[in-house]
Amino acid sequence: MGIGLLGVIKTAAMHIPWAKVAQNTPLLVDMIGKAKAQIKQHDASQRNLEDQLKSLNDENAKLAATVLQMSNTVQLLTSRISFLTKLTAISLLLAISSVVLWMLN
C-alpha cells in the first residue's frame, strides 16, 4: 500500500505542470471566493425567506384572533340590538294600549 502511495506521489511530482498550476492559482482562489460568496448569499436569502414566512405566519395568527374577537363583538352587538328592538316594540304596544284605554274611559 505504501508503494502505491509513493507511486502516486512520484507521478504527481513528475507529470503535473506545476508552473501552470501556480499561474492559475489566483484564478482558482478567486473562483473559490465567488463560490463561497454565492453559497453565503443563498443561505442568507434562505434565512431571510424563512424569517419572512415566520413573520407572516405570526401576523396571520394575530389577525385570525382579531377577526374572531370582532366576530364575537358583532354577535354581542347584534343580540343587544335585537333585544332593544323587541323592548321598544313592547313599550310602543303598551303606550298605544294605554292611550286606547284612557280614551275609552
Residue 18: pLDDT band by 50, 70, 90 thresholds? Answer: confident
- Cα dist. 1→4, 5, 7, 9, 64 in Å? 5, 6, 10, 13, 69
Q: Give the closest residue to 17 by CA, choosing from 7, 25, 29.
A: 25
User: Distance (Å, rounded) from C-alpha 88 to C-alpha 96?
Assistant: 12
- Cα dist. 31→39, 45, 68, 102 in Å? 12, 21, 55, 104
pLDDT averaged over every residue in the chain:
87
Q: Give the closest residue to 43 by CA, choosing from 51, 32, 31.
A: 51
Region 7-31: mean pLDDT is 79
Q: What is the pLDDT of residues 21-46, one digit of tens each?
A: 778 788 878 888 888 888 888 888 88
pLDDT at 54 (0 to 100): 92
User: Distance (Å, rounded) from C-alpha 65 to C-alpha 73?
Assistant: 12
pLDDT at 30 (0 to 100): 84
Residue 2: pLDDT band by 50, 70, 90 thresholds? Answer: low
